[in-house]
């Protein structure tokens, strides 16, 4: 596995996954999804990607 | 052989050295107008829920810079160099986020139409052989007193990376998932039209995340964008299919529920003394006529638009009001996705 990851692909993949999962959650009636929910979820997911990337960099730096 | 037509419309190209990213200047050149006009137009469109921002971002995606043969979109679609700079990556992310905000909005149709027009203009430009090819770089000029020119060390391009099978596999699985879900829908299971799109999008999302570790596939990047836009459009269209379009007159006598996808719904409460009445309009107006002297308890929700209860406008999405005595036996649950809720007393 690469030490880091391809950032654009990861970001777009996360956006695609979040949108599709939110759609199915809304369809099943588990949560009522609107624009605000979508944008906040995307924001959190993208921030999580940033954290993951920072964690990978830190791990790489610590390992020498 | 025919001579090149000098009067042909110039190809859309963004010049350097403009205040922003050159979209307005490109449009001004192509149409022979003043860039200030286009800047004012975009600024005005920003007032309309930020539409100008989305259109400008699309312009940056679709219109190439001066001297560059391809726009960012063309480069990512056709290659050969599909690498992106950091600003270009942020442009795509901004476009995806702003676009998602718009796809379930009534003005999404306008956005798609304008994007289509820009795409057509670019396609026409590509087909027209009279457009000049970008000028080759000027040869270096060596002053006579300078040191003798040393040619650069011979450089050979690195061999292209082997194509990752991930893109093909992901595309095939996504197509299979979408096909199976579509077949299930056709076989009689009650299913929204967007379900196959969402299924394919989930597969492409997984493929992209996996690809970010094990090998990139830019085709998936674009496919995910297209599927996301399609999902938004399909989600917006679904209520129109389910609930219909046009004008509806509803005259309940008791508990009832009504839905309209787009248009005008008129709820006449003359014959209703008590009960729970639910009325929903997707896009348009919901007009409720309450007879004088009738006590009603109203729960109204309008996601985007005006809320007018007995001649008074309210801000915010959700309002709860009671007309008449507090122990009203007629309860109204009114909702509009985008448009107007108006409750009047007759």
Whether residue B341 lies inside any domain: the answer is: yes
Does B179 share its domain with B223?
yes
Nearest partner of B272 among B260, B258, B282, B259, judged by Cα:
B258
| One domain, residues B231 and B213 | yes
How much is the average pLDDT of B140-158?
57
Question: Both B238 and B268 in a single domain?
Answer: no
ipTM of predicted assembly, 2 dp: 0.80
Percent residues over pLDDT 70 in chain B = 73
Lowest mean pLDDT across A44-58, B17-31, B42-56, B214-228: B42-56
pLDDT attached to residue B30: 80
Average pLDDT over residues B230-251: 86
Domain boundary (B61, B94, B124) is at: B124
Compute the distance between CA of residue B14 and CA of residue B135 in angstroms, rounded to an integer: 15
Q: What is the pLDDT of residue B252?
A: 92
Q: Which residue has the higher pLDDT, B65 or B18?
A: B65
Quick check: is B15 in a domain? no
Contact criterion met (CB < 8 Å) for A6 and B100: no
Q: What is the pLDDT of residue B140?
A: 53
Which DSSP helix (H) or strand (E) runs through B250? strand B245-250
In a shared domain, residues B256 and B340:
yes
Q: Output phi, psi for B268, to 5 deg.
A: -100, 115
Split into its structural domains, chain B has a count of 3
Q: Touching check for A40 and chain B: CB below 8 Å? A: no
**A13·B211 Cβ contact <8 A:** yes
Residue where a domain terminates, one of B91, B124, B157: B124
Q: What is the pLDDT of residue B305?
A: 82
Mean pLDDT across the stretch B134-145? 52
Q: How far is it, in rounded angstroms, from Cα B320 to Cα B26?
A: 51
- CA distance, residue B261 to nearest chain A CA (Å): 17
Calculate helix-pair angle for B218-243, B108-127, nearest 10 degrees: 140
B216/A13 CB distance under 8 A: no
User: Which tops the pLDDT comparison, B1 or B214?
Assistant: B214
Rounded Cα distance, B131 and B4, in Å: 9
Is residue B145 in some structural domain? Answer: no
Token representation of residue B89: 């990556």
Note whether residue B11 is domain-resident. Answer: no
Nearest CA-CA distance, residue B283 and chain A, Å: 15
Q: Are residues B43 and B116 in the same domain?
A: yes
Residue B8, in any domain of the structure: no
Whether residues B233 and B260 fall in one domain: no
Nearest to B234 by CA among B202, B198, B279: B198
A2 pLDDT higher than 60:
no
When scoring A2, A10, A19 by the number of chain B Cβ atoms within 10 A, the one with the most, hence best to mutate, is A19
- Taking the CA of residue B86 and the nearest CA in chain A, the distance in Å comes to 9
End of a domain among B185, B216, B243?
B243
Same domain for B280 and B239: no
Q: Does residue B103 contact residue B97 with C-beta atoms inside 8 Å?
A: no
Shortest distance between the Cα of B90 and any Cα of chain A, in A, equals 9
- Are B230 and B195 contacting, i.e. CB atoms less than 8 angstroms apart? no
Chain A residues whose beta carbon lies within 8 Å of the beta carbon of residue B208: 9-10, 12-13, 16
| Whole-number pLDDT of residue B165 | 78
Over 80: is that where the pLDDT of A57 sits? yes
pLDDT at B271 over 50: yes
Q: Residue B217 in contact with residue B166, Cβ under 8 Å?
A: yes
Task: Decide if B153 is inside a domain.
Answer: no
Nearest to A23 among B97, B194, B209 (CB): B194
Segment B101-119 shows an average pLDDT of 53
Q: Same domain for B312 and B260?
A: yes
| Residue B158 falls inside a structural domain | no
Which chain B residue has its CA at the smallest distance from A35's CA? Answer: B101
Q: B216 and B259: one domain?
A: no
- Residue B332's domain comprises 245-345
User: Could you give the CA distance from residue A44 to residue A33 in angstroms, rounded to a whole number?
Assistant: 15
Q: Quick one: average pLDDT of B7-30?
A: 74
Give the pairing of strands B312-314 and B318-323: unpaired
The pLDDT value given to residue B346: 80
DSSP letter (8 states) at residue B280: E
**Residue B227 forms part of a structural domain:** yes
Give the residue from chain B lying closest to A40, CA to CA: B97
Asked if B213 contacts A1 with a C-beta cutoff of 8 angstroms, the reply is yes
The answer on B224 and B206 residing in a single domain is yes
pLDDT band, very low/low/confident/very high, at B105 (cuts 50, 70, 90): low
- Between A64 and B252, name the one with better pLDDT: B252
Phi, psi of B165 (to 5 degrees): -75, -10
CA distance A41 to chain B (A): 11
CA distances from B195 to B231, B239, B318 (A): 8, 14, 30
Q: Please tell me which of the candidates A6, A16, A46 has its beta carbon nearest to residue B205.
A: A16
Chain B contact probe: residue of A16, A18, A29, A56 with most B CBs at under 10 A = A16
Average pLDDT over residues B83-90: 74
Per-residue pLDDT of B173-220, as tens digits, reads: 998 898 898 888 888 888 888 899 999 999 999 998 888 877 666 778
Residues of A in contact with B84 (CB under 8 A): 8
Give kind and range of the element (H or E) at residue B304. Answer: strand B296-309
Whether the per-residue pLDDT at B29 is higher than 90: the answer is no
User: What residues pair up with B246 in beta bridges, in sequence order?
Assistant: B263
Chain B residues closer than 8 Å to A34 by CB: 303
Q: What is the DSSP string of B38-107?
A: HHHHHHHHHHTTTHHHHHHHHHHHHSPBTT-SS-HHHHHHH-S-----HHHHHHHHHHHHHHHHHHTSTT
Q: Are residues B228 and B269 in the same domain?
A: no
In this complex, which of A16, A35, A38 lies closest to B201 when CB atoms are compared?
A16
Residue B184 and residue B93 share a domain: no
- Structure confidence at residue B46 as a pLDDT band (50, 70, 90): low
């Amino acid at each position: 596995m690469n030490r880091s990851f391809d950032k654009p692909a990861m970001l777009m993949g996360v956006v695609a996954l979040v949108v599709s999962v939110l759609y199915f959650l809304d369809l099943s009636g588990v949560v009522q999804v609107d624009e605000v929910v979508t944008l906040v979820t995307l924001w959190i997911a993208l921030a999580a990607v940033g954290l993951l990337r920072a964690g990978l960099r830190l791990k790489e730096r610590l390992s020498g | 052989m025919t001579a090149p037509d000098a009067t042909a419309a110039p190809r859309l190209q963004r010049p350097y050295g403009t205040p922003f990213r050159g979209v307005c200047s490109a449009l001004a050149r192509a149409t022979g107008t003043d860039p200030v006009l286009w800047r004012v137009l975009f600024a005005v469109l920003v007032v309309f829920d930020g539409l100008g921002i989305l259109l400008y971002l699309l312009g940056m995606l679709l219109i190439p810079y001066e001297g560059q043969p391809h726009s960012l979109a063309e480069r990512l679609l056709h290659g050969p160099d599909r690498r992106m700079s950091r600003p270009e990556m942020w442009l795509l992310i901004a476009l995806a986020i702003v676009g998602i905000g718009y796809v379930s909005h009534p003005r999404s149709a306008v956005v798609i139409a304008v994007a289509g027009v820009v795409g057509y203009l670019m396609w026409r430009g590509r087909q027209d052989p009279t457009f000049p090819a970008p000028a080759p770089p000027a040869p270096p000029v060596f002053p006579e007193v300078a040191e003798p020119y040393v040619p650069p060390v011979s450089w050979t391009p690195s061999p292209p990376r082997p194509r990752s099978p991930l893109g093909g596999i992901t595309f095939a699985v996504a197509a299979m998932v979408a096909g199976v879900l579509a077949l299930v829908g056709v076989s009689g299971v009650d299913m929204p039209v967007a379900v196959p799109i969402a299924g394919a999008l989930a597969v492409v999302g997984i493929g992209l995340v996996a690809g970010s570790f094990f090998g990139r596939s830019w085709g998936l990047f674009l496919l995910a964008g297209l599927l996301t836009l399609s999902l938004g459009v399909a989600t917006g269209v679904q209520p129109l299919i389910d609930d219909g379009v046009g004008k509806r007159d509803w005259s309940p006598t008791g508990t009832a529920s009504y839905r309209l996808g787009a248009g005008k719904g008129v709820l006449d409460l003359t014959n209703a003394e008590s009960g729970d009445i639910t009325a929903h309009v997707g896009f348009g107006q919901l007009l409720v006529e309450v007879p004088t002297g009738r006590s009603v308890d109203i729960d109204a929700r309008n996601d985007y638009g005006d809320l007018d209860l007995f001649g008074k406008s309210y801000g915010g999405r959700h309002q709860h009001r009671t007309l008449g005595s507090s122990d009203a036996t007629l309860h109204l649950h009114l909702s509009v996705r985008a448009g107007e809720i108006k409750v009047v007393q007759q």
